[in-house]
């Protein structure tokens, strides 16, 4: 069974640019969550999608957005990048989205220069 796939794995952007990250969940999983990991901050919840609807949202500015497609694949977008957006962005999927037992991808490492 294929795991959660995130692309790209690494990317470098400059301030002011925008970026789109992609996540393919485990087949059959309908819930996709996104987390930001930075040193000293742990993992911080960005948002969660279930059946193409955003169910939960974390405390991030509106520059962070996401969406989910009918095949459960998800994308997140960050516009007007800032240096502080440099982080590991982790996507996680689960079957129903109610258990907390998430399957994480390896992450997309974003560096903003």
Partner 1 sequence: DQQVKQNSPSLSVQEGRISILNCDYTNSMFDYFLWYKKYPAEGPTFLISISSIKDKNEDGRFTVFLNKSAKHLSLHIVPSQPGDSAVYFCAAMSGATNKLIFGTGTLLAVQP
Binding site for partner 1 (CB under 8 A): 4, 31, 33, 35, 40-45, 48, 55-56, 58, 90, 92, 94, 97-107
Q: How far is the CB of 56 from partner 1 (least distance, A)?
A: 4
Q: How far is the CB of 77 from partner 1 (least distance, A)?
A: 20
> Which residues on neighbouring strands pair with residue 87, listed in sequence order?
110
Q: How far is the CB of 38 from partner 1 (least distance, A)?
A: 10
Measured from the CB atom, the residue of 52 and 106 that comes closer to partner 1 is: 106
Instruction: Give the span between the Cα atoms of 76 and 92, in whole angstroms.
Output: 12
Measured from the CB atom, the residue of 15 and 55 that comes closer to partner 1 is: 55
Measured from the CB atom, the residue of 36 and 78 that comes closer to partner 1 is: 36
Measured from the CB atom, the residue of 59 and 70 that comes closer to partner 1 is: 59
Handedness of CA 14, 15, 17, 20 (dihedral sign): positive
Inter-residue contact 14 to 112 (CB < 8 Å) = yes
Q: How far is the CB of 66 from partner 1 (least distance, A)?
A: 14
Inter-residue contact 48 to 31 (CB < 8 Å) = yes
């Amino acid at each position: 069974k294929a795991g959660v796939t995130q692309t790209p794995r690494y990317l470098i952007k400059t301030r002011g640019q925008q970026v789109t990250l992609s996540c393919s969940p485990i087949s059959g999983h309908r819930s996709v969550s996104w987390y930001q990991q930075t040193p000293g901050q742990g993992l911080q919840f960005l948002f969660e999608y279930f059946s193409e609807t955003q169910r939960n949202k974390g405390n991030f500015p509106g520059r962070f957005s996401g969406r989910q497609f009918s095949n459960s694949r998800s994308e997140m977008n960050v516009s007007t990048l800032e240096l502080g957006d440099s982080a590991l962005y982790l996507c996680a999927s689960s079957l129903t989205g109610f258990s907390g037992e998430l399957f994480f991808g390896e992450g997309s490492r974003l560096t903003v220069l």
